[in-house]
Chains A and B, each alone.
Chain A
Amino acid sequence: MVLPPLFIISMETGNAVRRTWKRRWGQRYSYLLFLLPAFVVVIFLTVYPLTRVFYLSFYRYNPIRNIDRFVGFGNYTRLFSDRFFLIGLKNTFLFSVGATMTEVILGLGLALLFNVKFRGRKLLLPLVIFPMMFSTMVICAIWRSMYHYEYGIFNYALRSLGLDPVKWLIDRNLALWSVVLVDIWQWTPMAFLILLAGLQSIPVELYEAARVDGATGVRLFRHITLPLLRNHIFLALLLRSIDTFKIFDKVYALTGGGPGTATETISFYIYREGFRYFNVGRASAAAVVMFFAVGLVSVLYIRQVWRRER
């Protein structure tokens, strides 16, 4: 477990601190004051809970059944032989990658559309971001009613067009993607906003210069837009992958993890083991596995950002 940074800083009063600090401002530790409030809150809220999660993952711990014994890596080996956990891992990965990629690609398309100056643009722009402002509970309820096989408006429309109805949340090969679609509807606007901001910050002169050189459509996009938009695309990918990796509420409200194991995810697994069965040890182990996966992604991201911006 990583030690909270504050402790390390206060322990280390060596030369490194003094040197870097003196060079810039002369007062020695005042920078700690800037960070202090945030440190305190972060530690208060997270260090105990996260340490405890880590610790409990080595125990068979069930508070309501009074079970509390050390099992070493027992919870972990158990997890990796549990079909529901493994499928949850796979689904979480599919959901996260599928939703994030689609949202960023669609967001980019939408941003390109709105980067054109057309009549009514000012009016439509606020409407595009409507979906992300509704409560997820309500969104899931609407979509559940629209997805309904018998009474849903989607299948009604398909039937009136003489087409076969679709088993949106019922078909086990489709259910996960139907949940993804809801996430896409709700959060593409966020990717859109980030990317539109990026597009607008690209100087028009660049395009004009390139056009003089004879470049057109696709080449302009590949050689000017995409490279200059890199940072924005990166940010959109990061923010969306963080949120989609945690996917819980939509599964909870739309399918309950079913049919079968089609929409089982890690968060949902943790919730059920931890809050339904109170197998807190096992839930903690699952959480640690999730941290590990997430931590890997964050390290990669931070290294990227750091290298470029420093």
Chain B
Amino acid sequence: MRKILLTLLFFLCITALALPKEKLVIAGRDGGYGAALQIAVDLFMERNPDVKIELLKLPYKGLYEKLVIDLSAGIGAYDIVMLDDPWATEFMSLGWLASLEELGYTLDPDFVSPALAVCHYPYPDGVLYALPHVGNVELFAYRKDLFEKYGLKSPPETWADILQAVAVISTKEPGVHGVVFRGRKGNPIVTGFLPILWGFGADIVKDGEVVLNSREAVAALKFFLLLKQYAPEGVEIYNSSEVREALLAGDVAVAIEVWPAWVPDLDNPEKSKVVGKVEIIPAPGLVEKSSPMLGTWLLGISSASRNKELALKFLEFVTSAEVQKLLTLQVGHAPTRKSVLTDPEVVAKYRWFPNQLAALEAAVPRPRVLVWSEIEGILGEYLQLALIGELSPEEAIGEATQRIAEVLGG
């Protein structure tokens, strides 16, 4: 213990000596997220010359593990962390993030409410621990040209419409598969399936109890299997990159799950063969109203950070309307502010933004439970066993319910 303290002290001295400037370390994401955040960081440093910010662009794979290890040990290697909203309950309830209200932040009503709700613990209106940075929401993409060609209802309003359309296009249009989704086990298949599950009126967890085992859930899974007939061979190992590739190559008519982060590529002639042909809408409902899944990325401050005030200043800066608009126009960032999503200049560039706002406002977050990662993992295993026909839908839902109950029981 003394050794740890001494080492810590030693490093404190080193840091104090070596860095006359104020320094922040941000654990962020790679790819488009990284590019967007980098622009904000550069701008912030330009305006505050005595601040140095180091932005780590970390890949999604391994990010959760990395953050959990650092935050749970209270190491404080990161001042600001970027987190996916399903991790929020865990991070916030375990005290890993600093309360923003205590640091003097006042709430801004301009944020879309479902995205802001997940920043609170307890959900949806407890203490504010983070700010919504990326307004990701699950969207639904379909080929308008093909739907019109075969006289199908455009836009489709229910899952039944979709099944019918998908069947027609699969049989009539050569070389095009009806539908594509993420079928890879674990997180991908669960996010692919959730909008359908919710659309059928079923749920996984309610008030801390598992409620998965229902007739609606089985019906939703059966419907999922019907859809699979019209999906490309191998959809059971598809992840986002395969879904994206298939859609860009013009080989599928419907993608039940696309994300704002890469939707702009669809209209980019360097990457896409379907420029202007794809329409983006919120996922439809069946019995329930449309229930697109929320996938917001949040920015929070580590409770072990030694520079919380500065961190908050940056958080306010990066989520401000001015910066969000800039990032959106420059690199296709997905905003979380109503004012940016409805800004005429922005909408002129991204034609689907009104739909994206509608989806965001109707969005449903994944269950707010501490052990979501494990529940998602278990559900993902059993959904896949059903998808490849190793278990019947009833068996899969039944066994998954049992395992999830076990996990919730502790």
Contact = CB atoms under 8 A, between A and B. Distances in A.
Contacts, number: 74
A145 to B, nearest CB: 10
A256 B381 CA distance: 11
B374 interface: yes
Nearest to A168: B234
Contact of B384 (A65, A258, A278): A258
B233 A170 contact: yes
Contacts of A275: 65
Interface string B230-248: 0011101101001001100
Contact of A149 (B94, B233, B390): B233
Interface in A149-206: 149-151, 165, 167, 169-170, 172
Interface in B163-218: 184-186
B371 A65 contact: yes
A169 B184 CA distance: 11
Interface string B367-389: 00011011001000100110110
Interface in B54-92: 64-65, 68, 72, 90
Contacts of B370: 65
B377 A167 contact: no
B237 A256 contact: yes
B311 to A, nearest CB: 23
B233 A150 contact: yes
A259 B90 contact: no
B251 interface: yes
A64 B388 CA distance: 33
A276 B373 contact: yes
A215 B370 CA distance: 73
Contacts of A150: 232-234, 246, 251
A256 B249 CA distance: 24
Interface residues of A, number: 27
B104 interface: no
B237 A67 contact: no
A206 B311 CA distance: 77
A170 B238 CA distance: 10
Interface string A32-66: 00000000000000000000000000000001110
A259 B387 CA distance: 9
A260 interface: yes
A170 to B, nearest CB: 4
Contacts of A277: 371, 373-374, 377
Given A64-B90, A276-B65, A260 B185 contact: yes
B109 interface: no
Contacts of A148: 234, 242
A150 B94 CA distance: 45
Interface string A122-157: 000000000000000000000000001111000000
Interface residues of B, number: 32
A170 B374 contact: no
A172 B64 CA distance: 29
A65 B369 CA distance: 12
Interface in B379-410: 381, 384-385, 387-388, 390, 410
Given A151-B245, A170-B233, A277-B374, A260 B251 contact: no
Contacts of A278: 68
Given A63-B72, A64-B72, A276-B377, A256 B233 contact: no
A170 B68 CA distance: 32
Contact of B233 (A167, A257, A260, A276): A167
A272 B377 contact: yes
B65 A258 contact: no
A259 B374 CA distance: 19
Contact of B388 (A84, A260, A276): A260
Contacts of A151: 245, 249
Interface in B347-372: 370-371
A149 B232 contact: yes
A273 to B, nearest CB: 9
Interface in A255-277: 255-261, 272, 275-277
B65 A169 contact: no
A207 B157 CA distance: 80
Nearest to A82: B403
Given A150-B233, A167-B233, A169-B234, A257 B185 contact: yes
B153 to A, nearest CB: 28
B410 A170 contact: no
A34 B179 CA distance: 66
Contacts of A149: 232-234
A172 B388 contact: yes
A148 B232 CA distance: 11
A258 B381 CA distance: 9
Contacts of B373: 276-277
Nearest to B66: A275
Nearest to A262: B388
B237 A170 contact: yes
A256 B187 CA distance: 11
Interface of B: 64-65, 68, 72, 90, 94, 184-186, 232-234, 236-237, 239, 242, 245-246, 249, 251, 370-371, 373-374, 377, 381, 384-385, 387-388, 390, 410
The 10 closest A-B pairs by CB, nearest first: A170-B234, A149-B234, A277-B374, A258-B185, A259-B236, A260-B388, A275-B65, A149-B233, A259-B388, A260-B390
6 contacts: A170-B234, A256-B237, A260-B384, A260-B385, A260-B388, A261-B390
